[in-house]
Amino acid sequence: MARSKSSQQWLQRHFSDPYVKKAQAEGLRSRAAFKLEELIDRDRLVKPGMVVVDLGAAPGGWSQLARNRLGSTGRVIALDILEMASIAGVEFLHGDFREAEALSRLKALLGDDEADLVLSDMAPNFSGVESVDQPRSMYLVELARDFAQDHLRPGGSFLAKLFMGVGFDEFVRDLRTRYGKVVVRKPKASRSRSPEVYVLATGKR
């Protein structure tokens, strides 16, 4: 089947993207790794021995970077609704985070460990209709927030992708009641035309 003009344009932009080229050159799973790299370097979020939970992990760019930064210490636990090729030292669960069964398996794998850092790069399949897409994206990040509330150690950190729109301000205000510091950032690797930003909450109360 021939690709549509819009698909061809997307592919052309994608493969000419300097971060895509850099990811390929460095053997990274995705350009998204550079978003996380900027965020964790700025705030020194990943340290040896930490337990990191990566929600919405596929294709594995964030898990791969976190595992590299941890070296042989700590744990990286990843979950996604999509299959993900294995990464040495990363414990992966295939499941839908919105469903109780997947959440139960994730909690069982975590066991008695408390997370030091919860990452969420989750996003819904977009329809192009903001009134549909924004509530779906907010629902996912709210689930991630609730998981972090239950499984982060005191003082731990939560980093999640958000999309500007309805519910954004209320979500950030809510995080400020749960964490000592909350900031919103737009990494350089995040495409300028994208409404995505990242909220970093540190110092869980």
42 belongs to a structural domain: yes
**Is 121 assigned a ligand-binding role in the annotation?**
yes
At residue 40, the pLDDT reads 86
φ, ψ of residue 143 to 5 degrees: the values are: -60, -40
Query: Catalytic annotation on 107?
Result: no
22 belongs to a structural domain: no
pLDDT tens track for 111-128: 999 999 999 999 888 887
Domain span at residue 143 reads: 33-204
At residue 190, the pLDDT reads 73
**Is 128 assigned a ligand-binding role in the annotation?**
no
At residue 191, the pLDDT reads 67
Number of Cβ within 10 Å of residue 201's Cβ equals 24
Contact (CB, 8 A) for 159 and 198: yes
23 belongs to a structural domain: no
pLDDT tens track for 130-187: 878 999 999 999 999 999 999 999 999 999 999 999 999 999 999 999 999 999 999 8
At residue 25, the pLDDT reads 59
Could you tell me the CA-to-CA distances from 14 to 11, 17, 175, 194 in Å, in that order?
A: 5, 5, 33, 14
Bridge partners, 140 (sequence order): none
Residues whose CB falls within 8 Å of the CB of residue 42, separated by 6 or more in sequence, listed in order:
185
Sign of the torsion formed by the C-alpha atoms of 27, 28, 31 and 34: negative
| Residue 104 CB-half CA count within 13 A | 3
The pLDDT confidence band at residue 15, using thresholds 50, 70 and 90, is: very low
For range 194-200, the mean pLDDT:
91
Q: Which residues of 67-92 are buried (b: 16+ CB within 10 A; e: fewer)?
A: bebbeeebbbbbbbbeebeebebbbb
At residue 49, the pLDDT reads 96
Detail the DSSP E strand segments found in 26-170: 51-55, 75-80, 90-94, 115-120, 152-163
Q: What's this model's pTM, rounded to 2 decimal places?
A: 0.85
The pLDDT confidence band at residue 4, using thresholds 50, 70 and 90, is: low
Helix axes 32-43, 61-70, angle to 10 degrees: 40
Our count of domains for the chain comes to 1
Contact (CB, 8 A) for 105 and 80: no
Contact (CB, 8 A) for 57 and 81: no
Which residue matches tokens 């997947």? 102
pLDDT tens track for 27-78: 554 666 778 888 888 888 999 999 999 999 999 989 999 999 999 999 999 9
User: Catalytic pick from 5, 22, 161, 181?
Assistant: 161
**Is 60 assigned a ligand-binding role in the annotation?**
yes
Q: Which residues of 101-118 are buried (b: 16+ CB within 10 A; e: fewer)?
A: ebbeebeeebeeeebbbb
What CATH number is associated with residue 197? Answer: 3.40.50.150
For range 74-93, the mean pLDDT:
97
